[in-house]
Amino acid sequence: MFNKMTVRDIEVKDKRVLVRCDFNVPLKEGRITDETRIVGAMPTIEYLMDQGARVILCSHMGKPKGEFVAALSLAPVAGRLGDLLGKPVHFISSAAVVDEEVKSQAMALESGEVMLLENTRFRPEETQNGEGFSKELASLAEIFVNDAFGTAHRAHASTVGVTAFLKPAVSGFLIEKELAFLGKAVEEPQRPFVAVLGGAKVSDKIKVIDNLLSKVDGLLIGGAMAYTFLKAQGIAVGSSMVEEDKLDYAREMIEKAKKSGVELLLPIDHRVARSFEDVPAILTQDASIPEGHMGLDIGEMTIGFYQEALLNARTVLWNGPMGVFEFENFNKGTLAIAETLAMSSATTIIGGGDSAAAVTQLGFADQLTHISTGGGASLEFLEGKVLPGIEALNDLKEEKQ
Q: For each of the chain's 401 residues, which pLDDT tens digit applies? A: 568 999 999 999 999 999 999 999 888 888 898 888 899 899 999 999 999 999 999 999 999 999 999 999 999 999 999 999 999 999 999 999 999 999 999 999 999 999 999 999 999 999 999 999 999 999 999 999 999 998 999 999 999 999 999 999 999 999 998 888 888 777 888 999 999 999 888 888 888 898 899 899 999 999 999 999 999 999 999 999 999 999 999 999 999 999 999 999 999 999 999 999 999 999 999 999 999 999 999 999 999 999 999 999 999 999 899 999 999 999 999 999 999 999 999 999 988 677 887 888 788 888 999 888 777 788 888 888 889 999 999 998 744 43
Angle at 22 between CA 81 and CA 326, to 5 degrees: 100
Close Cβ partners of 86 (under 8 Å, ≥ 6 residues apart):
none
Task: Give the active site residue among 66, 376, 384, 385.
Answer: 376
Q: Assess whether 66 carries a catalytic annotation.
A: no
Residues ≥6 apart with Cβ < 8 Å to 11: none
Note whether 296 and 271 are within 8 A (CB).
yes
Contacts of residue 194, Cβ cutoff 8 Å, sequence gap at least 6: 216, 217, 218, 219, 220, 309, 310, 313, 315, 316, 317
Q: Which residues contact 221 (CB under 8 A, 6 or more apart)?
A: 197, 198, 229, 264, 265, 266, 267
CATH topology of domain 7-176+387-400: Rossmann fold (3.40.50)
Phi and psi angles of residue 68, each rounded to the nearest 5 degrees, phi first: -70, 120
**pLDDT confidence of residue 226:** 96
Q: What is the DSSP letter of 352?
A: S
- Angstrom distance (rounded) from CA 155 to CA 236: 44
One of 201, 207, 314, 385 is an active-site residue; which one?
201
> Could you confirm whether 172 is annotated as catalytic?
no
Tell me the three state secondary structure of residue 229.
helix
pLDDT at 400: 41
Long-range contacts formed by 285-294: CB under 8 A, 24+ apart: 287/230, 287/235, 288/235, 288/236, 288/237, 289/227, 289/236, 289/237, 289/238, 289/240, 290/236, 290/238, 291/236, 291/238, 291/239, 292/238, 292/239, 293/238, 293/239, 293/240, 294/238, 294/239, 294/240, 294/241
Cβ-contact 206, 177 below 8 angstroms: no
Q: Is 348 helix (H, G, I), strand (E, B) or coil?
A: strand
Q: Which of 4, 16, 37, 231 is catalytic?
A: 37
Question: Under a CB-based contact definition with an 8 Å cutoff, are residues 237 and 194 in contact?
Answer: no
| Domain boundaries along the sequence of the chain | 7-176+387-400, 191-345
**CATH level 2 (architecture), domain 191-345:** 3-Layer(aba) Sandwich (3.40)
Amino acid residing at 232 = A
For strands 193-197 and 169-171, give the pairing: unpaired
Instruction: Please tell me the pTM assigned to this model.
Output: 0.83
Distance separating the N- and C-terminal Cα atoms of the chain: 17
Cis peptide before 26 (omega within 30 of 0): no
- Across-strand partners of 169? 144
Strands lying side by side in the sheet with 282-283: 282-283, 270-273, 294-298
Residue 43: how many other CB atoms lie within 10 Å = 16
Q: Does 353 participate in catalysis according to the annotation?
A: yes
Neighbours of 44 (CB within 10 A): 25
The yes-or-no answer on residue 314 being catalytic is no
- Is residue 274 a contact partner of residue 234, using CB atoms and an 8 Å limit? no
**Closest by CA position to 113, among listed 49, 59, 58, 50:** 49
Q: How far apart are CA 271 and CA 336, in angstroms?
A: 14
